[in-house]
Structure 1
Amino acid sequence: MRINGKKIIRYILGVCCLAFLIGSGFFLASRSGHLKNESTVSKSISRQTRKAHSQKISLVGLGDSLTFGQQDPTNRGGYVYLIKQKLQKNYDVKVTTHNYGKTGDRTDQIQARLENDPAMQKQVSEADVITMTFGGNDLMQVLQNNFQLLFNNKLSSIMPQREKQYQQKVESLMQTVRHYNPAVPIFVISVYNPFYVYFPTVTALQKYTDQWVELTKKMVTAQPRVYFVNVNQRLSQGQYLGKNQTELKKQSKMNLENLSSQEIEQTLNDHHEKNVYLSSNDHFHPDLKGYRYMTDQLYKVMMAHRTTWLNSETTKR
């Protein structure tokens, strides 16, 4: 039998080419799958690495009932809890909070607690961020002790001296905090007038609240790495902020000094004069809506100064 050499060679070459193509296809498919697996594993490792290297932030809240979270219906600690959740939701961070708010504390009482509580001192010294609320009980003390002067429009005769005393207390408190932690950013949240919506014609209440807020702002922002969070207008005026308040004042049952305690309570419970940012239980402290507003304002100021507490390599979620 005659053998055609050229045909055999072409046949062998054809088989080899086919085998090569099939083999190449299998290799590429396998390689592709292998690369996909590598990619999946790589992403998984990356996520685990990010989680393991998330920035850890210790946030310490110092202050009065607003830091404590009085009237927070969730009983989780008001804005201190909420700011933790907001930061962890938006950034690759692990936030630990320590809440040292105490209902009823004046500025000097907050300082005394810090000076006499070693555990509190330790947490403040190790904090990456400090938030503070103070001044509200100081102002309430002045108003309560001089109620008659307030409604006779003579409170101006004593306010300069009371403001000077308050200023000294704030300076002393801030010095004490800085003694334990000289460098970290401090965010101070303002007071507000909880009675405005209920008694809008008592303009002296808002006048002296505004002065107290401005005095606090002036004192704290004069210090390095201390930032002011102003919640006064919204929490004072509630849903009436930016609206015509003539009708609100017409509806008011003032004159307050002529009302009995029962009539005052009825006014506070009047749905038409209710401040939706404050608790209906005591008409004084924020409700959940109010604490969320405080948290949003705090977050904005923290973001404006994030280089003081957030690592540059920390990523957004």
Structure 2
Amino acid sequence: MKRFKILITTLLVVATAVAGLASWWLFQSNQVSINAQTRPSTMKKIRKRPAKSKSVRLVALGDSLTQGVGDQRKQGGYVGQIRQQLIKKDHLAVTTSNYGKAGDRSDQIQARLTASSAMQKKVKSADAIVMTVGGNDLMQGFQAATADGSTSIAKMDTAVANTQRTYAAKLTSLLTQVRSLNPTAPIFLFSIYNPVYVYFANVPQLNVYINEFNQTTKSVGKPFARLYFMDINQRLSYGQFDTVEKRAALATKDAQVNKNGVNGQTVEKSLMTNPDGELNKYLSPADHFHPNYTGYTQMTNVLYKTMQQHQQWRP
């Protein structure tokens, strides 16, 4: 019980620090166009007209994962990377519009969409829509459960269950609005993940909440046509601990480290002094929370594969 309280406290401490450090920026990529040109000819025979460029408009909505926080190369996270993959592999002219904002919950994403006619216009004209949502909604539930300074698994269970119900209604509203603006473009929706798994692999309760939240996202999205749920939970949570044996060894090690109890400051100090900067190779050493460039590459690969499986977005 004590270790579970420490885990939640640590997660909230790190998340609060991240929120304070993250700044707003949007990564707008210029449209790449290939204009085939023909030389004037005095010949009277009819020449075949060159093919027009095949262009794709991709719009990204969401929170810090869409904004690209943690990408040390500052290339726009998965949004910048998916653009490059579509250009190189599919030979398309791609325009991206990034509407990610750090800290946004599902209702706040919708509030921005409702307030911005420019954002609505982009969504209406999109060929493909990508979204990250849910992490900050779950964090709100954790904060509610620990507001009085105490917590327990039973109390956390209740808070998360209540948050899930609220989140389901908010996500339904957000997706309904997106679909009303654009009835045809496929929506590619990412799951959330556990950013502190590698440090508390011996404490399974947070994984339970993450899985339940992802199931809520998947269930809410199921009735919407051309919506595709993409699960990145295990990939980003486990990092390089990608086998049962590796995770078992990690859990044993974490249990030994945490057996006497640690406070949030001690955990943060241990993270900062890790010789590799971050124990999970897919997360940023700057905040131990968001994906780094390699982590965003993992997200991009899942997105690209899913887009190839469902190609309604293609010209």
**TM-score bin, normalised by smaller chain:** 0.7 to 0.9
Q: Which residue of 1 aligns with 2:310?
A: 305
Number of equivalences: 262
Q: Which residue of 1 aligns with 2:262?
A: 259
Q: 1:92 to 1:304 in 2, by over 3 A?
A: same
Q: Which residue of 2 aligns with 1:249?
A: 251
Q: Pairwise CA RMSD of aligned residues?
A: 2.0
TM-score by length of 2: 0.78
Contact 1:153–1:204 (8 Å) recurs in 2: no
Question: Which aligned segments of 4 or more residues in structure 1 are displaced greater than 6 angstroms?
Answer: none
Q: Which residue of 2 aligns with 1:144?
A: 143
Secondary structure of 1:202's aligned partner: coil
Secondary structure of 2:197's aligned partner: coil
TM-score by length of 1: 0.78
CA distance in 2, matches of 1:123, 1:291: 23
Secondary structure of 1:197's aligned partner: helix
- Per the TM alignment, residue 159 of structure 1 is displaced from its structure 2 partner at its CA by 3.0
Q: Which residue of 2 aligns with 1:17?
A: none
Q: Which residue of 2 aligns with 1:165?
A: 166
Secondary structure of 1:293's aligned partner: helix
**Offset from partner CA, 1:193-213 (integer Å, 9 cap, x none):** 001001112211111001111
Q: 1:223 to 1:261 in 2, by over 3 A?
A: same
CA distance in 2, matches of 1:187, 1:206: 23
Q: Which residue of 1 aligns with 2:123?
A: 124
Query: Per chain length, whose mean CA-contact separation is higher, i.e. which structure has more relative contact order (CA < 8 Å, sep 6+)?
Result: 2
Q: Which residue of 2 aligns with 1:195?
A: 196
* Structure 1, unpaired ranges of 5+: 1-44, 312-317
Q: Which residue of 1 aligns with 2:3?
A: none
**Offset from partner CA, 1:243-271 (integer Å, 9 cap, x none):** 41222112212259x42232111332335
Q: Which residue of 2 aligns with 1:133?
A: 132
**Partner letter of residue 119 of structure 1?**
A
Contact 2:82–2:300 (8 Å) recurs in 1: yes
- Per the TM alignment, residue 125 of structure 1 is displaced from its structure 2 partner at its CA by 0.8
Whether 1:280 aligns to 2:285 is yes
Q: Which residue of 1 aligns with 2:107?
A: 108
Greater Rg over alpha carbons, structure: 1
Larger helix share, 1 or 2: 1
Q: 1:286 to 1:150 in 2, by over 3 A?
A: farther
- Per the TM alignment, residue 219 of structure 1 is displaced from its structure 2 partner at its CA by 1.3
